[in-house]
Structure 1
Amino acid sequence: MIKKITYPRVGFLGNPSDGFGGKTISFPFKNFQAEIVLWQSEELKFLPNIEDQDEFSSVSELYRNTQSQGYYGGIRLIKAAISVFYRYCQKNKIKLEKKNFTVTYRSNIPQQRGLAGSSAIIISTLNALIDFYNLEKIDPAILANLALEAEVKELGIAAGLQDRVVQSYNQPVFMDFSAHSFQKNRGLCGEYKTFSAEILPPMAVVMAPTMSESGKVHSDVRNRFDSGEPEVIAAMSEFASFAKDGFLALKSKDLTKISELVNANFDLRRKIYGDKVVGVENIKMIEMIRSLGGAAKFTGSGGAALLVAPENRIDKICQKLNLAGYQAERIIL
């Protein structure tokens, strides 16, 4: 039996420029996890999770299920990962032993909160398949490309490389997705620099009561970027500068500068995407955190926020947020 775990990630600075040739900083955290369990069997089988439920006692039960679990389970992600893995092996003339498996999954990563729960399932699946077929480890940068291919090409999910890179490396990463960086790596990947989690500031993750459909958030901005809209192109360059400046601030442990950049990252996102896309409840969450003395931005595309604050204040801020109906907890690295 093979078990593989992948953790969610926080987009620390620079997102969403990862999908637009920018730069980002991101890190995995261990408060939640997605696990794939796989074992050999006669037929290729998928054991559904509660998220894949397709039988209900009533319409009201179905409604409650979709409101808490969303409309998409994890089996489609696993199937996409297997398809991409097989195509990769075919392309690289890697012979796979003729054997089948049964696969199931468990994930407590909150859904539709911009925490990269979908890519966590895909990365775990790819790593499990590598072990099952006794293959050599795939370079993390290439593994990230495969995970992105599973989501974008197979499933049509709007996504960038950031999440898949940090989850493949399972370390904090400074990522440069510029055309120049890809050219230096023969077009295969950007430049990825891992670093120690010890230089990260005191942080918490804060979740809103309602979910956010993070996979649909980028669509309008993508069209505007591709059409050459100056404001969007300039914004993506500015997002990238937040990551570059933030990396220097992390190294010097300049919490004031880090906090300024975290706040600026959200403010620019709000300006470019607009309040309708960002969401009223998400804006309230960010404003609440800031009113209590913390810096705040989305962890991803909405539904959860990164809170940065001094060590002597962060726990009190979390307590007040929890009393206000949010779910706030210190990040475990």
Structure 2
Amino acid sequence: MAIQAEAFARAGLMGNPSDGYNGKTISFVIREFSANVHLVASDQLEFLPNVQDRPQYHSIREFQDSIRHNGYYGAERLLKATLIRFMAYCEKRSIELHDRNFTLNYGSTIPRRVGMAGSSALITATMRCLLEFFEVDMPNPELADLIWRTENEELGIASGLQDRVIQVYEGCVFMDFSKNIMNEHGHGQYEELDLDLLPNLFIAYRLGLTEGSEVFHSNIRERWEKGDQQIIDAMEQFAGLAQEAYDLMQAGAADEVGPLMDQNFELRKSLYTLSPGDLAMVEMARSVGAHCKFSGSGGAIVGTYEDEDMFEILDNEFLDIDVVLVKPTIEEDLEGEYY
């Protein structure tokens, strides 16, 4: 028995990072990049290491390069934590499981440390394998919540809620995490959007490492929990921008969404110290008339462009600063483009 599952990279179109603070966001998947997990029945339970988990290297230089690109922690811990949380979920609900063993291995094409939710994608793909292998049904809202708890509680990686929701639902989703909704349902309210309502979108990301989201989110959470009014007000503004973007798209005014992305970025800039490389991406995009914001915790941006001429100019400008430009595929069976 062999099972294959995947989950895609994501971009926060509007409202992030308010998803972790009872806010609202709009997100979409990027099908050009995915995490893939393969499960096969076996005599023993086994986790096969990927190249970033390997214990052997050809040279010290190769070891140094691996640490620079992958960090000190490989992704095997994500698969193990997912299994632990899945078993706990089933035990709590008295779901009987068979006792057959399996082997898990994985791969990912999602660029690392550029805020595209690569970790949660691996957890999502692993969870899908386990659900199929053990023949367990789980509603999408519960699945997204379990994936979030795996990363946030089991592994201690601070993160918002949007990543798992969009990776479970796919497409483009408007998410409302308002306190009253969360208290009533135990999860947010999710609406899948018509992709024809979206503006022309691009993704651009830096080649090279930036800080992971666990670093990005750390201080903001503490300030929010202490009642810092600046943070509380900012999260409400982020949520308001997501709602406004949703309303515009529903009204057929997608061309008016771009300036809201600029507002989202400027608000974020007022709260965080941003890296020069990330600022350069934003400034470059704006210099040719595009609108943009961070797609996640830093290292990548999502933006809107007017036409193909502007997109071609963006491509040429980004090449000069080692930035990769992608026209994202959101819908299944449509091919995107790399530049």
The question of a shared fold, defined as TM-score above 0.5 by the shorter chain, is answered with yes
State the match for 1:184 in structure 2.
Answer: 184
**What RMSD over aligned residues (CA atoms) do the two structures have, in Å?**
1.3
State the match for 1:142 in structure 2.
Answer: 142
1:100-155 deviation line (CA, Å, top 9, x unaligned): 0000001000011100110000001111101001222x111110111111111111
Aligned residues: 327
State the match for 2:45 in structure 1.
Answer: 44
Verify the 8 A CA contact 1:294 1:308 in the aligned structure 2.
Answer: yes
Verify the 8 A CA contact 2:42 2:102 in the aligned structure 1.
Answer: yes
The equivalences for 1:243-262 within 5 A come to 243-262=242-261
State the match for 1:331 in structure 2.
Answer: 328
State the match for 1:169 in structure 2.
Answer: 169
State the match for 2:268 in structure 1.
Answer: 269
1:55 aligned onto 2:56:
yes
Paired letter, 1:199 = L
State the match for 1:35 in structure 2.
Answer: 36
In 2, Cα distance between the equivalents of 1:257 and 1:157? 35
Paired letter, 1:288 = M
The equivalences for 1:189-208 within 5 A come to 189-208=187-206
Deviation at 1:322, TM superposition (A): 2.1
Q: Secondary structure of the residue that 1:217 maps to in structure 2?
A: helix
TM-score (norm 1): 0.95
In 1, Cα distance between the equivalents of 2:293 and 2:55? 36
Deviation at 1:171, TM superposition (A): 2.4
In 1, Cα distance between the equivalents of 2:196 and 2:63? 44
1:295 aligned onto 2:307:
no
State the match for 1:127 in structure 2.
Answer: 128
State the match for 1:94 in structure 2.
Answer: 95
Q: Secondary structure of the residue that 2:106 maps to in structure 1?
A: strand
1:151-194 deviation line (CA, Å, top 9, x unaligned): 11111101111100111111211111111111331xx2011111
Deviation at 1:54, TM superposition (A): 2.0
Q: Is 11-20 or 279-288 further displaced after alignment?
A: 279-288
The equivalences for 1:69-84 within 5 A come to 69-84=70-85
For structure 2, the residue ranges without an aligned partner over 5 or more in a row are 331-339
1:73-97 deviation line (CA, Å, top 9, x unaligned): 2211001111110000001110010
State the match for 1:322 in structure 2.
Answer: 319
State the match for 1:5 in structure 2.
Answer: 6
For structure 1, the residue ranges without an aligned partner over 5 or more in a row are none
In 1, Cα distance between the equivalents of 2:255 and 2:3? 44
Verify the 8 A CA contact 1:293 1:317 in the aligned structure 2.
Answer: no
Paired letter, 1:222 = R
Aligned-pair identity in percent equals 35
Verify the 8 A CA contact 1:49 1:104 in the aligned structure 2.
Answer: yes
